[in-house]
Chains A and B, each alone.
Chain A
Amino acid sequence: MTDVMHNFELFQPATLADAQAILGDHSDAWVLAGGMDSLDWFKHRVKQPAVVVDIGNIPDLHGIREEEDGGLWIGATTTLTEVNESEAVKSRFPILAEAALKVASPQIRNRGTIGGNVAQDTRCVYYRDGFPCYRAGGNTCYANTPTAMNREHALFEVSRCVAVSPSDTATALAALEGVFVVQRGGSQQEVAAEDFFIGPDVDITRMTMLEPGDILVGIRIPAKWAGSRQYFEKVADRNAWDFALVNVAMAASVEDGAISDISIVCGAVQCTPRRLSDVESLVRGEAPGEELESLVKRVAARGAEPLNFNHFKIPLMENLAVRAIRSLA
């Protein structure tokens, strides 16, 4: 059930410097981009920040630019529809365009931003319903009990919290080795995907390295995988609206019938997009085929520790990895 939102003070700065000044003045300020997730938090009265900073009017954070080296820069408040329809994205990084198209529904993609999509909080129902779990500052996990509904939860790297990364574009960006540009204080930092997304062992209350006061400015995608062989697939209970049960994104280059380089990432299986480094080292230098596929199937989900109701994710993840490799044949 939703409620009327609490009263908050709304700021709509026009420049990044103004936004930072406001965030500096108010320690509990909430950064709002598309608002597709933020407003749900407010309506459910789980989060009630006194100050909301709408960064949608800042031109520096918006748009898609082609970089000189052949890569792309995508502003954080670029909507998912813009990412999905951009010819530059489609021609160089089709898996990002496809991942953006698989998010939620058309109206949400028209408003939702890529920055918000990668930085969104987890979808664990217990956490979102306001249970005082580890992630919310409590001392228990309601999703990891014998009777808990945890079919959507994690297989890997569980540390008290079993929540998973909900984002589709984060999986694609991790596979493309995207770099996240974060404004912190007076300087901009470039953070690699494996450092941008953090697990509960690093900080259990956050999904990304963004701290209060930080603003995600944009995402830089290096030219490395531009125009390579790419594959994205998302499996969810429903075609529209739903978050992934498992998604997979792959970028690879094939030379003389053998896989010379590959980057493959699975989402929704742990708190961060999971790079399948076992699969990568296995297939590098090999020719795609049935033999390789059977080996990939054996290593893709190695080390998984399923909860009571998410065993199905293991074969799902294995098969998605196999399908990604099969697309190279």
Chain B
Amino acid sequence: MTKYGPYDPTLDYAPGPAPTRKGGGVETPSWKPLHMSRRNFLRGVVCSGVVIGGSAYLFSTTTPARSDTRAVERLVRLTVNGRTHSIEVPPNETLAHTIRYRLGLTGTKIGCNQGECGACTVLAGDTTIYSCSTLTHRVREVDITTVEGIAGPDGALHPVQQAFIDEIAPQCGFCTPGQVVTAVALLKKNPKPTIEEARLAMSGNLCRCGAYDHYLRGIMKAAERV
């Protein structure tokens, strides 16, 4: 009859009877292949990342609209907030995903992920788009501006941002990055909007706190200051 020893979490789990620590000759089964340590594993990940990133830098060119009938390549150059990034993006990735999880610009929020809330709004050129509903490969040739690129290079807030603070527009703040980007785009196109024009321009951004009037007041205030 097999004797089961007490459970010892320091030993690696293996199905079957727990090996006894003392008693000679029983080898501890291990799932770790080739003595892979945590340190070596991380080292490998970092190195391969460097190789991939480096090769992206070396071999990438700007990828124009293809004149032949091959599928898109994964390496893309994406200009976000004035910086060009060479990154590897699968064809089924949305811009929101790329911005947040590849470039680390987590100011852009993903709310509904299906173009129904506006939290993921970014600027493509001068027009607002839902980054959650745009393939990254679709905007390779366009300059993207996220909420991180709205403030000045010295960190000075954009008049819209300052006006939103003054009017206490954000309540929970989740929709605010989208609201800021949409408002900035509106004022770029129409520096002196009427309240109705502002309301129409902002109609693609939901605010579950219902602070719409605060945002509108913020825009009218910012329009005076721009």
For the complex formed, measure the closest distance between the CB of B191 and the CB atoms of chain A, giving whole angstroms. 17
**A39:B135 contact, CB within 8 angstroms:** yes
**A54:B138 contact, CB within 8 angstroms:** yes
Does any Cβ of B come within 8 Å of A189's Cβ?
Answer: no
Contact residues in B for A57 (Cβ distance below 8 Å) = 65-66
Stretch of A13-21, A167-175, A246-254, A317-325 lying at the B interface: A13-21
For the complex formed, measure the closest distance between the CB of B72 and the CB atoms of chain A, giving whole angstroms. 5
Residues of A in contact with B (beta carbons under 8 Å apart) = 2, 4-15, 18, 21-22, 25, 32, 35-36, 39-40, 42-43, 52, 54, 56-57, 81, 104-108, 110-111, 239-241
A94 to B26, alpha carbons, bound, how many Å? Answer: 86
**How many residue pairs bridge A and B at CB < 8 Å?**
106
With contact pairs A9-B71, A54-B137, A111-B134 given, residues A105 and B113 touching in the complex (Cβ less than 8 Å): no
Contact residues in A for B147 (Cβ distance below 8 Å) = none
Contact residues in B for A52 (Cβ distance below 8 Å) = 91
Tell me the residues in window 27-84 of chain B with beta carbons closer than 8 Å to chain A beta carbons.
65-72
A52 to B114, alpha carbons, bound, how many Å? Answer: 18
With contact pairs A10-B137, A14-B66 given, residues A110 and B128 touching in the complex (Cβ less than 8 Å): yes
A110 to B115, alpha carbons, bound, how many Å? Answer: 12
For the complex formed, measure the closest distance between the CB of A328 and the CB atoms of chain B, giving whole angstroms. 27
**A111:B92 contact, CB within 8 angstroms:** no
Q: Which of B69, B115, B127 contacts A11 (CB 8 A)?
A: B69
A8 to B135, alpha carbons, bound, how many Å? Answer: 12
A42 and chain B: residue at smallest CB distance: B92
With contact pairs A18-B68, A18-B69, A54-B135 given, residues A110 and B92 touching in the complex (Cβ less than 8 Å): no
Contact residues in B for A15 (Cβ distance below 8 Å) = 67
With contact pairs A54-B137, A106-B128 given, residues A239 and B203 touching in the complex (Cβ less than 8 Å): yes
Residues of B in contact with A (beta carbons under 8 Å apart) = 65-72, 90-94, 112-116, 118, 121, 127-130, 133-135, 137-138, 182, 200-201, 203-204
A22 to B69, alpha carbons, bound, how many Å? Answer: 6
**B138:A21 contact, CB within 8 angstroms:** no
**B92:A8 contact, CB within 8 angstroms:** yes
Contact residues in B for A54 (Cβ distance below 8 Å) = 135, 137-138
A21 to B114, alpha carbons, bound, how many Å? Answer: 31
Q: Which of A21, A43, A241 contacts B69 (CB 8 A)?
A: A21
A40 to B121, alpha carbons, bound, how many Å? Answer: 17
What 10 pairs across the A-B complex have the smallest Cβ distances?
Answer: A105-B204, A10-B91, A57-B65, A240-B203, A5-B92, A2-B113, A14-B65, A107-B204, A110-B127, A106-B204
Contact residues in B for A12 (Cβ distance below 8 Å) = 65-66, 72, 137
B110 and chain A: residue at smallest CB distance: A2
For the complex formed, measure the closest distance between the CB of B109 and the CB atoms of chain A, giving whole angstroms. 14
B122 and chain A: residue at smallest CB distance: A107
Contact residues in A for B204 (Cβ distance below 8 Å) = 104-108, 240-241
